């Protein structure tokens, strides 16, 4: 007997408990022409996270949209509990739509720290996620932390379109990297816009102190044993004969330098995250000193923590353009210089293509490896 098996349905849920964070989810579902799944996410009086799914999800593909507000850890817990609730309700596939992936800056080993991003990837897999859609990961290598597929979408086409349509005389602009680490991303923008490139080198170097982490202690070397046969503690050990380790030269910050001519130009600083704006404000002042007459900042994720809106308002920066991957309506009220670009279109299209089993390549057309 032949049976016609219809393609399994899909549902879209939001795992956020705050109303401001569900705005992006509402825009995505409007574009998809579906209703947001019925669920309740809330914090109990003791701050425990509780999730109640109010409809059947058995055998369905579920997309969980989770935008990350200032309370990062609560949002992560909401996502984990929601994913686990769907897993235990027999959902077929659980796909996380996490436009800004939290803890993405903690993706490298620092002294005696840990790679928290890897830990979070393992937790999401354990909770039941089978796929993730995200946008502009801080480092592309983060995709390797996951045991399931990751689609790392790009916001650059939307930001480039904003430059072309909203910045008058953008042909007289120059793309600026505020540090050598951001030079590849800036080069990608410059090549697609057919503009010049400048790099700020100097003060924006990493300022972490190396003095108290044990690197300056002498090496622990072989000791001489006494008549008891017991080894002396490491500090009392004598060095290997004839062995000298090479002297490591201490790092020195070079004087601030702008590589490239910004005089009489519009300076457009590009980056993936704008959070602590101190580096951006300092870069804007330097560019003003070097003759730039307008300064724009383009970034995918506008975290804009602490006093960022006030510092931007008081700075030489003319405009900060970010996407709506992170809610920042409060910051916009505090600082009119902050503008928003909507990226719900590409997230909705990614959901549609994944559900229909279509290729994602179209969403990455004209995207360079370094973008």
Sheet of strand 150-153: strand arrangement: 10-14, 61-65, 93-98, 131-135, 150-153
Query: For the residues 151-163, what does the mean pLDDT come to?
Result: 96
Greater model confidence, 34 or 204: 34
pLDDT band at 8 (very low <50, low <70, confident <90, very high): low
Pairwise CA distance, residues 287 & 316, whole Å: 9
pLDDT exceeds 80 at position 237:
no
**Would strands 196-201 and 266-274 be described as parallel, antiparallel, or unpaired?**
unpaired
Q: Given this model, what pLDDT does residue 229 score? A: 52
Name, in order, each residue with C-beta under 8 angstroms of 106's C-beta and a sequence gap of 6 or more.
113, 114, 115, 116, 117
Residue 318, number of CB atoms within 10 A of its CB: 17
Pairwise CA distance, residues 239 & 136, whole Å: 49
pLDDT exceeds 90 at position 195:
yes
pLDDT band at 220 (very low <50, low <70, confident <90, very high): low
- Terminal-to-terminal C-alpha distance of the chain: 52
The two three-digit tokens of residue 343, written as one number: 């990226």
Q: Identify any residues that bridge with 151 across adjacent strands, giving them in sequence order.
A: 133
Q: Given this model, what pLDDT does residue 234 score? A: 52
pLDDT, tens only, 315-327: 999 999 999 999 9
Going by C-alpha positions, the residue among 198, 155, 199 that lies closest to residue 298 is: 155
Pairwise CA distance, residues 371 & 360, whole Å: 17
Greater model confidence, 208 or 106: 106
Provide the mean pLDDT of the chain.
Answer: 87
The two three-digit tokens of residue 325, written as one number: 């991957």
């Amino acid at each position: 007997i032949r049976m016609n098996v219809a393609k399994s349905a899909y549902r879209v849920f939001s795992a956020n408990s705050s109303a401001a964070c569900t705005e992006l989810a509402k825009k995505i579902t409007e574009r998809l022409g579906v209703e947001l799944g019925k669920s309740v996410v809330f914090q109990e009086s003791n701050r425990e996270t509780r999730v109640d799914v109010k409809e059947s999800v058995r055998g369905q593909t579920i997309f969980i949209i989770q935008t990350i507000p200032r309370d990062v850890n609560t949002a992560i817990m909401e996502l984990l509990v929601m994913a686990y609730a769907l897993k235990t309700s027999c959902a077929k596939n659980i796909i996380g739509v996490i436009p800004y992936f939290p803890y993405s800056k903690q993706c490298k080993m620092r002294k005696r720290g840990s790679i928290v991003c890897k830990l979070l990837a393992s937790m999401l897999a354990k909770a039941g996620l089978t796929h993730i859609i995200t946008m502009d990961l801080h480092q592309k290598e983060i995709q390797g932390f996951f045991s399931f597929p990751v689609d790392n979408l790009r916001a650059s086409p939307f930001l480039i379109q904003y430059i072309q349509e909203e910045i008058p005389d953008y042909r007289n602009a120059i793309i600026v990297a505020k540090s050598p680490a951001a030079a590849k991303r800036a080069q990608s923008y410059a090549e697609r816009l057919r503009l010049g490139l400048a790099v700020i080198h100097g003060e924006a170097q990493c300022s972490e102190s190396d003095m108290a982490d044990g690197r300056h202690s002498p090496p622990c070397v072989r000791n001489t044993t006494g008549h008891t046969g017991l080894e002396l503690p490491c500090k009392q050990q004598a060095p290997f004969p004839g062995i000298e380790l090479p002297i490591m030269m201490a790092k020195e910050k070079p004087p601030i330098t702008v590589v490239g001519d910004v005089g009489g130009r519009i300076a457009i600083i590009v980056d993936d995250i704008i959070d602590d704006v101190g580096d951006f404000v300092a870069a804007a002042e330097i560019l003003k000193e070097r003759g730039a007459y307008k300064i724009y900042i383009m970034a995918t994720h506008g975290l804009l923590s602490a006093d960022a809106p006030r510092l931007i308002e008081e700075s030489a920066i003319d405009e900060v353009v970010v996407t709506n991957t992170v809610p920042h309506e409060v910051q916009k009220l505090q600082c009119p210089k902050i503008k928003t670009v909507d990226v719900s279109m590409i997230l909705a299209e990614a959901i549609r293509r994944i559900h229909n089993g279509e290729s994602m390549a179209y969403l990455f057309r004209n995207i360079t490896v370094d973008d």
